[in-house]
Structure 1
């Protein structure tokens, strides 16, 4: 799965060149350091994805494949309730099994 994620981030959202990758990583790192210093919990994956979209949109808005970026955002939105539902099922099953 790792290579698929790298390919999606670096080629499917927008075509990253080395300088764009450097800027995205630097911007993401600064964001993470600032959030950590302020005690704000953030996701590294969300941060770098936002930085990559930012690099692509600075080139031009049409450089970003907004459909791919939208699919990623929807996956993030559905992950939280799905994880909550699975945790509830496991919790319920633990009472039945013990």
Structure 2
């Protein structure tokens, strides 16, 4: 019966961090406007690679220790996805 309470506590921690502006304090990655019609696939892949690098640096800096393993797994999967996308959609 303690697992739901632990999950609720973790969610509360994340909400508190978000409210405190933790991500803003470490420099959010650039956010591209998805409605911009001129963004090419190569530009999108490049932006996502920059966001992945930002995430990796934040993990390495010790941010979000309670989510470190999950974020590291997400970063690896994102890297693999971007590698595959780069092969399918090479820069012109």
Please indicate, yes or no, whether the TM-score normalized by the shorter chain is above 0.5. Answer: no
Bigger radius of gyration, 1 or 2?
1
TM-score, length-scaled by structure 2: 0.36
Write 1 or 2 for the structure with the bigger share of helix.
1
